[in-house]
Homo-oligomer: A and B are copies of this chain.
Amino acid sequence: MIGRLFRVSFYGESHGYGVSTLIEGCPPGIRIDEDFISKELGKRRIEDPSISTQRIEKDEFKITSGVFNGYTTGAPISITILNRDVDSRPYETIKNKPRPSHADLTAWIKYHGYNDFRGGGIFSGRLTAAMVAAGAIAKQLIMKYGINVYAFTKSIGNISLNNDVKLDDVVNNTYSNPARCPDPETASKMIELIKETRAKGDSIGGVVEAWVTNVPPGLGDPPIDTLDGDIAKAVFTIPGVKAIEFGKGFDIARMTGSEANDPIALKDGKIITLSNNSGGINGGISNGMPIIFRVAFKPTPSIYIPQKTIDLRHMRETMIRLWGRFDPCIAIRAPPIIESITAIVIADHLLRWLAWEKYLEEK
């Protein structure tokens, strides 16, 4: 469960009935636009087989509770995205031969061999459809406060977007190319790199950047439930994530205080900071500036190149050569997931913040 008031769970498996989300604690009266959910789910799909998996899911979903006459009811909301285009044959191969850097081995150990290994089970990228469905509800919740969440591909391998990207480009261009990169030129280079990598049977990593705009200052609940900590934990539920950094992130470790500190100023009567090296969060609390963070995705561990592994039946070393359908780069599929996970955490902290604000309003 992510969250304390707006509480989200994920369940389902890659090759089972479907993947689902359960949302508890969502306020009533939020208009739920099913087309919006469809559109959000659509942002996960990259229908270019040269750079993406050939598994094509239309992502039919059904809301099975918590929405009535087009509005949230206040009761738990559940959404299921059915699995259709399932081909479990290739997974017989991996049943006893864990794929390096996949969850196959750890799942086999933790679940004593009982886990549904088909398609990666709960560790599949397929689960992210449930994240997007939950995110679509969260986005409709936070929209009322004008909060927007954006994410885009920042780098693929060594191809990196430069730092002066504009919000307009993020809004307009991100989903107009399969690299999910707001700069069309950089996007082309990224796509080229992914194609080359795929041609070699290999995969490639990348970095996704997120921006959250119009967040009221005051969200976050230290000392434990910091806003950055809660975002971080939620982001690690996404398969393939290895790192997260806010604002200047790791670069700030090389800076001095006089370089890194964000001077405080006023603009049109509103408190702002003149730079945003903090990424919109200080002391675990939003400061009113855009929240900015980056997430590192590893290369898809599924590659066509033979790899060393072990045979779990006979406990001996062996090789594995995969076949089947894989994404050569999971990072480019991640922007809508990052947006969704972020919206979920923001929705929860927004409600928590509203409780105190309302309490303090009362005389």
Of the stretches A1-9, A171-179, A184-192, the one at the interface is A1-9
Once the chains bind, are A282 and B237 in contact (CB under 8 Å)? no
Q: Assuming the A-B contacts A315-B269, A359-B354, are A73 and B301 also in contact, with contact meaning beta carbons closer than 8 angstroms in the complex?
A: no
A204: chain B residues within 8 A (beta carbon): 255-257
Known: A5-B352, A354-B355. 18 other contacts (CB 8 A): A2-B224, A9-B24, A12-B78, A13-B68, A13-B75, A29-B360, A103-B284, A157-B254, A204-B257, A229-B232, A243-B245, A243-B246, A253-B296, A260-B301, A269-B315, A271-B310, A278-B298, A355-B355
Q: Is the interface of A mostly helix, strand, loop or mixed?
A: mixed
CB within 8 Å for A307 and B263 given contacts A16-B65, A103-B283, A255-B205: yes
Complex CA–CA separation, A158 to B250 (angstroms): 12
* Contact of A298 with B258 at beta-carbon distance under 8 Å, contacts A12-B64, A283-B103, A355-B352 already known: no
- Tell me the smallest distance from the CB of A157 to a CB of chain B, in Å: 6
A221 to B359, CA, bound (A): 18
Q: A336 near B: Cβ within 8 Å?
A: no
- Residues of B near A158 (CB, < 8 A) are 254
The answer to whether A144 and B359 touch (CB under 8 A), given A247-B242, A257-B203, is yes
One complex includes copies of this chain to the number of 4
Which chain A residues (347-363) contact chain B, with CB distance < 8 Å? 350-362
Whether A4 contacts B1 in the complex (CB less than 8 A), given A75-B115, A223-B75, comes out as no
Most chain B CB within 10 A, of A29, A64, A271, A285, is at: A64
Judge whether A152 is part of the interface by a CB distance below 8 angstroms.
no
Within A69-128, the residues touching B (CB, 8 Å) are: 71-78, 80, 98, 100-103, 105-107, 109-112, 114-116, 121-123, 127
A-B contact pairs, 24 of them (CB 8 A): A1-B24, A12-B64, A13-B65, A28-B115, A68-B115, A71-B114, A74-B115, A101-B261, A103-B222, A105-B271, A106-B287, A202-B258, A203-B256, A229-B232, A242-B252, A245-B245, A245-B250, A245-B296, A250-B250, A259-B299, A261-B301, A264-B309, A266-B315, A354-B355
A205 to B105, CA, bound (A): 37
Is the beta-carbon distance between A11 and B65 smaller than 8 angstroms? Answer: yes
Residues of B within 8 A of A230 (CB): 233
A272 shortest CB reach to chain B, Å: 10
Smallest beta-carbon distance A252→chain B, Å: 5
Q: Kindly identify which residue among B18, B72, B250 contacts A296, using a CB–CB cutoff of 8 Å.
A: B250
A21 to chain B, nearest CB (A): 10
* Residue A248 CB within 8 A of the other chain: yes
A335 sits at the interface (CB 8 A): no
Q: Say which residue of B17, B122, B309 sits within 8 Å of A222 (CB atoms).
A: B122
* Contact indicator A106/B307 (Cβ below 8 Å): no
In the assembly, what is the distance between CA of A264 and CA of B13, in Å?
A: 25
Q: Are B122 and A249 in contact, with the CB atoms below 8 A?
A: no
Q: List the B residue with the shortest CB-CB distance to A160.
A: B254
